[in-house]
Amino acid sequence: MCNKYDPQHEAEAAMKRAAASEGADRQRLIELAIAWHQLARERREDEPTE
């Protein structure tokens, strides 16, 4: 899988934005960060081990 996004980096960026937000925006950004984190974890699990 090759794309220009780093899910772990995106998750961290979303959490930083969430920390600076309030209300519904904060909740939306937390949910976004969780989604990015799950993608990062799945990517790590899919990587072949040597």
| Residue 25 scores a pLDDT above 60 | yes
Sorting pLDDT into bands at 50, 70 and 90, what band is 34? very high
pLDDT exceeds 80 at position 49: no
Distance CA 24, CA 47 (A): 35
pLDDT value of residue 3:
64
Using CB atoms within 10 Å of the CB of residue 12, give its burial: 0 to 12 exposed, 13 to 18 middle, 19+ buried.
middle
Per-domain residue ranges of the chain: 23-49
- Asked if residues 5 and 36 have their Cβ atoms less than 8 Å apart, the reply is no
pLDDT for 47 equals 76
Pick the residue with more confidence: 48 or 25?
Answer: 25
| pTM of this structure | 0.77
